[in-house]
Amino acid sequence: MAEQVLVQVRVDKKLKEEVSEIYEMLGLDLPTAIRMFLVRSKLERGLPFTTRLPKETVTRPEALDALDALFQQASGAPDMTQDEINAEIAAVRAARKAVKQ
């Protein structure tokens, strides 16, 4: 048997309790689970699971455009241009004027 050494790791108490409970359901204790992790890491020559950052799905300009659209919606800003608004006002005024005559 190879010489054994002590490995100490500090972890959050709640995390230790939660994973110990999981390993108990699997018939393992925490030290055995950690040894399994280390052996598997050796076999894989790295972490025994994939680690990666989530894929960025939105670019910064797209996010800013979306945020701007939300601000416009929240403020009640119209989707119309100034010229379209002026044309709409002129049409309503013309319709009112026609009704009065």
Q: What is the dihedral of CA 15, 7, 36, 12, to 10 degrees?
A: 0
Question: Rounded CA gap, 69 and 88, in Å?
Answer: 22
Q: Using 50, 70 and 90 to split pLDDT, how confident is the model at 78?
A: low
pTM of the model: 0.50
Q: Check: CB of residue 47 under 8 Å from CB of residue 33.
A: no
**Is the predicted pLDDT of residue 81 greater than 70, yes or no?**
yes
| 60 or 6, greater pLDDT | 6
Question: Rounded CA gap, 12 and 71, in Å?
Answer: 41
